[in-house]
Amino acid sequence: MAEQGLAPVQPAERINEIDIVRGLALFGILMVNMSFFKAPVYLERLPSNYPAGIEQISAWFIQLFFEGKFYAIFSFLFGLGFYIFMERVMEKGLELVPLYRRRLFALLLFGLAHLVFFWSGDILLIYALGGFILLGFRNKSFQSIRKWIIGLFFVTLVLNSLIYTAKGVGEVLAGPEYEAMMSEMLAGAMAAYTEGSFFELVAFRMANEVPYVIISIIAWIPAVLAFFLCGLYVGKLGIFKNLQQNITLLKRVRKWGFFVGALILLLFIFAETGIWPLDPLLRLPLLPALNYAASLFIFPAYIAAWLLAVQGGFFKRLLGPVAAAGRMALTNYLSQTLICVLLFYGFGLGLYGRVSLAEGILITLGIYFVQIIWSNLWLKKFKYGPMEWFWRLLTYKKIQPLLMHKQEVS
């Protein structure tokens, strides 16, 4: 069928609460990614690797409140966004698959460019690949989706446990050779990121980082697909269509999500601090497994808590401006990389390897507040963020008006 009748979601059609949640997720994503932007990815970020003081407190802050929780929220919103997109296409009586495939191919191109030219921590490529699989679940029943979610969570847990166990065994078997290899990799990364030109850094990334990223997709796809399906499932339930009717459910999710998640994190703290003595080979896979298990309960609790907070009063006014950042999520995600590249890499300000965890938190706060301000200013004049507009151009194959009409601005 013809696609001329289909246009992108207009500003007035958006669900403001979803944009607020997406905007808050952007902050958490940057908080976790900052550790990778400012220093070699080979450095361990566990709190026990830092001396007592502000650095260890900062490590605990990131680990307990951010690590693993916010990419889950972002992935959940991707699945929810897929449902909303699918529903709008079906209302128009149009073909979903060709249109969504174009959308995913465009995202795939963004991800590849992001990965190769700027940063090896890209998530867009994985989202695009997972999105092609998500298409196959559009007509699945609630029961089928639930089974897949549980199965994928289990597969992710097993895969990560195997990976960390293999890493631990490799360290033991290699002994001093492993330490020498890690030191060499660390030195190579420091030299490339502090001294290399843009193109020298691209060459280094292609040789030393991109191959590992491609391999890691095997573990990442089940993880993000599980959260995609959570978003699809909630979308099918229609919870976001009338949040007021689901206040009791949201309160229950908030209460039990934080309670169970906190209990699991308590086990993580015991294992990480040595209160719960463990063999090193057991401790290595157990720590990420505990954090992952805790995240499964905490990420929906975060979403529920934010949705409840913005139903009225002080928090609705406080978090209202965050919606603009959420509406420009793709632009802001990519601009976070651009800002950090210019801050940390050698062809920029050259702060790579010279910023502490605590300073990284402050930089994260500064970048995020700037993004909130500029997103609100931009959307006063324009309908979409610049990358969102370009993404829509590639999806719908026609130029959409970018400037707000006078009546829309007023």
* pLDDT given for residue 44 in this prediction: 63
Tell me: pLDDT of 59 over 70: yes
Tell me: pLDDT of 403 over 80: no
* pLDDT given for residue 10 in this prediction: 54
Look up residue 203 and give its two tokens: 């060459």
Say how far residue 137 (Cα) sits from the centre of its chain: 22
pTM: 0.91
Please state, as a whole number, how many other Cβ atoms lie within 10 Å of the Cβ of residue 345. 23
Tell me: pLDDT of 2 over 70: no
Stretch 115-125: mean pLDDT: 92
pLDDT digits (tens, 9 = 90+) for 210-264: 988 888 888 899 999 999 999 999 999 999 888 889 999 999 999 999 999 999 9
Tell me: pLDDT of 101 over 90: yes
Please state, as a whole number, how many other Cβ atoms lie within 10 Å of the Cβ of residue 99. 19
The domain spans of the chain are 11-409
Among 403, 409, 400, smallest CA distance to 9 is for 400
The Cα 232–Cα 83 span in angstroms is: 6
Residue 159 DSSP symbol = H
Among 107, 392, 394, smallest CA distance to 224 is for 107
pLDDT digits (tens, 9 = 90+) for 124-180: 999 999 999 999 999 999 999 999 999 999 999 999 888 888 877 777 776 777 778
